[in-house]
Structure 1
Amino acid sequence: MNVGSILNNDGPVDAGSVTANSSASNSPVARPGASARPERHSIVNLLNDDEKSAKNKNILNKKDAETNVHAKPTAAVDTQEFNGDIITQKAGKTDENQHVQNAPVDELTRLHKLKSSTKPTRYTVPPIWAQEWSPSKSGAPEPAVQGPPDSSGTYLSSKRVFDPSITTSVDLECSITGVIPPASVTRTVAEWVYANFTEIPNDQRQNVELEAKFGLIVDKRSGRRIDISVASECIFTDKANTHFDMGVHEVGWRAMCDFLDELERKHQEDGRKGLAKTKHKFSRLESDVIDRFYEISERNSQPKTMRISTDALSKRQWGINKQRLSDLYIHNPSCMHDLRLSLSYEHPIPDTSLESIVTKTQPVLTRAKKRTSWAHRPTVTTFDLTRVQTPRESKNMKGKKIVDQDTSYEVELEVDTPELFSGYDLFKTGADTIRFEELIEIFLNNARCLNNRVTKMANK
């Protein structure tokens, strides 16, 4: 028994069979009809490939070679297509680069042709890119051009003046609610006007006047301006112990006149530069009028004060019956003057009654007024600055009557009441809840501008 038999699990054989097998293996030709002997594996056969496996490997290698031979033409075709795409892209880029290089030359050629064939454009107004930038003082956009009056009687647009949704910085908000709270003074004045407007019939609206007069709130006990330990603008309600002393000093009055004239000159200068939309900022009017006041008493009625005015030049006369509805005091200790808001009826006196009043009654007061009025439509305000001369009678040492003239200076602002009533109606119907209060704030701002101007001059 050899090592191969042990590995192949063969049993022991006798010597005769071994001899027969040896002789059979040595014979080159197998016997016919004999069954095939199983192959015996030795260590050499286990460690080395046999002939069949070698043949199989050769067959596989031949198949792989044939596959590679058939695959090479396809790869070559793909390579040619890829190279063709690269060449096409390079050619396209070359054309684009050449077009970009030729673009400035073509543009210059076209400009030279236009220059030689056309004349330069002459602008009556410089184009927007050639105009000088003129920033507004407040940094806010310029107001829109006002159009003609609409059916509601107002000549102003509905554009917001104080827009609560816009702030100067994009990362800031006006408040946590997104709404600017109204100033307390402005809201109180608006409520006061609204409460009085509710009691005015529609047919009496054209006779209503709302004006703000400059002066001082004076304590009756001390005779001096009130001191109530406040530092800012406020509404003063204690009228029982105070009275309003209307009028301003001559220096302050002239400073206000100069201020309004200065605004007009600046506006006209801007107009010559093409920066102003209108020729004049104000509609200016001068008047010289003599007012005479008469006390008219009728049975079972309260006495009425009639004012009859006479134009100093034309001698034309007209009469007004003024009836005070309500007053509101605004105290501003940080400025030179306080304000008194007055809401009144001004009923015209028929011309047929003027002559009887003048001939039958003596005037209780005479005032000669030289007034200059500046009407500013965009802020619905008229500025009336008046120099008043009031005759004062006295007697000299000999008992002879002498008439002197007391000169005083008055400043008052009058709001456009039809426009204010229009805002009132919009608020009442709910169509616009901001317009009415906005008009009140504009009116008060104009008064503050004059007051601040005089205060600034006095502090120098």
Structure 2
Amino acid sequence: MNVGSILNNDSPPNTTQGEKNSEPQDNGFHRHSLVNLLNGPDNDAEAKTNEQEPAKSSKQPERQESVSSSDNNDGRTNDKSQSEPLDGKKHDNETEERPSQDAAKAQTKKEEDDELARISKLNSTKKPRRYSVPPIWAQEWKAPNQMFTEQTNQEVATNLSNNPVFDRTSTVSVDLECSITGVIPPPSLTRTIAEWIYANFTEIPTSQRKYVELELKFGTIMDKSTGNRIDVNVSTECVYRDASGVYFDMGVHEVGWGDMCHFLDELEKKYQDELRKNHFQNSNKPKRKFNVLESDITDSFYQITNRNEQPKSIRVSKDNTLNPPRYLAINKQRLSHLFIHNPSSMYDMRLSLSYENPIPESSIDSIIKKNTPSLIRLKKRTSYTHTPTVTRFDMTKVQLPRESKSKGGKKILEQDQSNEVELEIDVNELFSGFDKVKNGVDSIRFEELVEIFMNNARCLNNRVTKLANR
């Protein structure tokens, strides 16, 4: 009696006293798996055939044993008394068991037919459920960078909060501490960027600090061999160090650029609303969240080569809002740059450290008259300066004049447009934090400034990434 017999409401076969010492019989009761129930009569019958074969093989050892005993009875080693009863008569069990075996086989055949009919009916009335879309536990996880390149039919939603879990001193849960030291360790990426800036600052003379610029630009790290965005099999933000095989494609899409500008304007509006509601409590706060400045500038780039000097790249900027226009010129010298790859966001970033050495105004006229610009850029920029986070956001629309010829040979002047997002940190504050670390006064200030600066960039990147996922 097995579980299949109990579930099928079948009763065990009748046994007699004479069948106790008989061989194991096939009584027709077999286990039925879910596969056999669903596959129908053909597969079920095949399964029964496979189940009967081991039963036949189990009988073979007894036959071999009887043959070996008969072989031993020809007088070589074994005694007759071991194979025959004391009265000299053989048991006639085989003749007594034949009627009972025939009856059992007939009963088994009838039960098999009834069971096959029942399974066939079940198989024809109910099919196994098939999913048009796999359940969530059966779906393959995909990194966010793959979601941007592959079109998926499902929206992947998460319930993670945008609010930070910890602050520097406590947690939301009163019975928890933020760490064993009471201070949250800095993120590894922030520490890496801070160490990179610190190492470069040690090589800058004090007299040159006022000419240093540290800027973060949005764009895409492109693979030179494929012409596509790099894919290094990571899913989180990281520093990309192999700069030999890549280049940085600076700029963002127009829709994303507009949404970033709208995001900054929303923050300003929200700040003004809170200021009006709590006028008396916030009387000491600034009247505006951002100091906004708009500019219209034309940049002309010149390659100047003097005897016994290295070639210089001079940028002459013309302020188009003034009449007569005002010209400023600088010699920009790149010191170092760092690629930051963020596959979970729309854009990567490049952190650049440069000298911006001013050119005397008396030399600007001669540079313009004696040289031809290699590149001209028309920039319409809106700058948002946020003093509490020592960051300036430069949102720039760029036009590049380009000449082409028509079929008739006439020159046609066209404009290539692009959109740029650039963040600059207050270098004076950063050098102040650098000196505190160097002198052993404050080991946290410098790294906090770097983390705040990077957090501002992530806020913009997250905003435009959320727009792309809609």
Shorter chain as denominator, the TM-score bin is 0.5 to 0.7
Q: Given the alignment, which residue of 383, 386, 389 partners 1:379?
A: 389
Cα offsets for 1:15-50 (capped at 9, x unmatched): xxxxxxxxxxxxxxxxxxxxxxxxxxxxxxxxxxxx
Q: Deviations over 1:226-266 (max 9, x none)?
A: 01110000000111000000000000000000000010011
Name the counterpart of 1:393.
403
- Specify the alignment match of 2:138 in structure 1: none
Query: Secondary structure of the equivalent of 1:175?
Result: coil
Match of 1:229 in 2: 233
How far apart, CA to CA, are the structure 2 residues paired with 1:307 and 1:219? 29
Structure 2 counterpart of 1:281: 289
Amino acid at match of 2:299: D
How much identity, in percent, do the aligned residues show? 63
CA drift of 1:163 comes to 5.7
Between the aligned partners of 2:273 and 2:185, the Cα distance in structure 1 is 37
State the AA in 2 paired with 1:445.
N
Structure 2 CA distance for aligned equivalents of residues 178 and 254 of structure 1: 41
Quote how far apart the aligned CAs of 1:169 are.
Answer: 2.3
Q: 1:356 aligns with which of 356, 366, 387?
A: 366
Say which SS state the counterpart of residue 402 (structure 2) adopts.
strand
Return the match for 2:414 from 392, 404, 413: 404
Larger Rg: 1
Matches within 5 A, 1:264-279: 264-274=268-278, 276=282, 277-279=285-287
Cα deviation for residue 170 of structure 1 reads 2.1
Deviations 1:82-111 (A, max 9, x none): xxxxxxxxxxxxxxxxxxxxxxxxxxxxxx
State whether residues 393 and 403 of structure 1, in contact with CA within 8 Å, keep that contact through their aligned partners in structure 2: yes
Partner of 1:108: none
Aligned position for 1:443: 453
Q: Structure 1 residues 163, 429: CA separation in 2 closer, same or farther (over 3 Å shift)?
A: farther
1-structure distance, mates of 2:363, 2:275: 48
Match of 1:453 among 439, 460, 463: 463
Q: Is the counterpart of residue 293 in structure 1 residue 293 in structure 2? A: no
Given that 2:314 and 2:331 are in contact with CA atoms closer than 8 Å, whether structure 1 keeps it comes out as yes
Could you tell me how far apart the structure 2 residues matched to 1:455 and 1:139 are? Answer: 19
Give the drift of 1:201. 0.6
Q: Which residue of 2 aligns with 1:185?
A: 189
Query: Are 2:336 and 1:334 equivalent residues in the alignment?
Result: no
CA distance in 1 between partners of 2:379 and 2:251 (Å): 13
How far does residue 403 in structure 1 lie from its aligned partner after superposition? 1.1
- Matched-pair contact (CA < 8 Å) for 1:309–1:317: yes
Aligned to 1:54: none
Measured at CA, do residues 397 and 168 of structure 1 come closer, stay the same or move farther in structure 2, by a change above 3 Å? same
Contact kept in structure 2, 1:271 and 1:278, CA below 8 Å: no
Give the structure 2 partner of residue 347 of structure 1: 357
Q: Deviations over 1:290-312 (max 9, x none)?
A: 00000000112221000000011
In structure 1, the residue matched to 2:314 is: 306
Aligned positions of 1:129-140 closer than 5 A: none
Partner amino acid for 1:379? Answer: T
Which of 235, 254, 261 is 1:257 aligned to?
A: 261
Q: TM-score, normalised by structure 1?
A: 0.64
TM-score by length of 2: 0.63
Question: 2:12 — aligned with what?
Answer: none
Please identify, of 171-180 and 195-204, the stretch whose mean Cα deviation from structure 2 is larger.
171-180
- Map residues 19-58 of structure 1 onto 2, 5 A cutoff: none
Aligned residues: 303
> CA–CA distance in 1 between the matches of 2:401 and 2:286?
42
Could you tell me which amino acid in structure 1 is paired with residue 301 of structure 2?
F
Unaligned runs of 5+ in 1: 1-136, 141-161
Q: Which residue of 2 aligns with 1:90?
A: none
Q: Structure 1 CA distance, aligned partners of 2:317 and 2:239?
A: 33
Cα deviation, 1:40-70, whole Å, max 9, x if unaligned, reads: xxxxxxxxxxxxxxxxxxxxxxxxxxxxxxx
Could you report, residue by residue, the CA deviation over 1:74-133 in whole angstroms, capped at 9, with x for unpaired residues?
Answer: xxxxxxxxxxxxxxxxxxxxxxxxxxxxxxxxxxxxxxxxxxxxxxxxxxxxxxxxxxxx
Q: Is the 8 A contact 1:386 1:410 kept in 2?
A: yes
2 CA distance for matches of 1:449 and 1:139?
Answer: 13
Matched-pair contact (CA < 8 Å) for 1:236–1:329: yes
SS, match of residue 436 in structure 1: helix
> What is the RMSD of the two structures over their aligned residues, measured on CA atoms?
1.5
Whether contact under 8 Å (2:334, 2:354) holds in the other structure is: yes
Cα distance change of structure 1 residues 338 and 417 upon mapping to structure 2, 3 Å threshold: same
Q: Distance in 2 between matches of 1:436 and 1:139?
A: 21
Q: How does 1:2-17 map to 2 (within 5 A)?
A: none
Superimposed CA distance per residue, residues 188-232 of structure 1 (whole angstroms, 9 cap, x where no aligned partner): 000000000000011111100000000000000111100111000
Q: Is the 8 A contact 2:295 2:321 kept in 1?
A: no
Opposite residue 204 of structure 2, the aligned amino acid is I
SS at match of 1:257: helix
Q: What does the per-residue CA deviation read over 1:147-186, in whole Å, with 9 as the maximum and x for residues that have no partner? A: xxxxxxxxxxxxxxx9633222221011233332211110
Q: Which residue of 1 aligns with 2:203?
A: 199
